[in-house]
Amino acid sequence: MTQLSNKYPLEERTAKFGEDIIKFCRVLKVDTISLPLISQLVRSATSIGANYMEANAASSRNDLDMPKDYFNIKREIV
């Protein structure tokens, strides 16, 4: 297995990955079967960078755990 170069920071690499997937999807043939698959591929590929940026912006471990705590509280109320 080849080691990836750390020439670019991970944030830039994830952004470039999302952009490359979008460019790739633009050349695909769109039909009733491929449209939902293409849409899911674009959403998945671009969410990698968004999730990475959000995790980096968290100021503490508690910020990262907030959604889990939020949903547990929400479930108890309902």
Q: How large is the average pLDDT for residues 46-69?
A: 74
Task: Give just the sign of the alpha carbon dihedral 11, 17, 19, 22.
Answer: negative
Residue 55 lies in a domain: yes
Residue 70 lies in a domain: yes
Comparison of pLDDT for 51 and 40, the residue scoring more: 40
Q: Which amino acid is at 18?
A: G
CA dist., res. 19 & res. 25, Å (int): 10
| Phi, psi torsion values for 14, nearest 5 degrees | -70, -35
User: Three-state SS for 33?
Assistant: coil
Q: pTM (2 decimals)?
A: 0.63
Domain count, the chain: 1
Which residues constitute the domain of residue 47?
10-77
Helical (H) or strand (E) element with 48: helix 34-57
Q: Which of 11-15, 20-24, 42-46, 58-62 has the lowest mean pLDDT?
A: 58-62
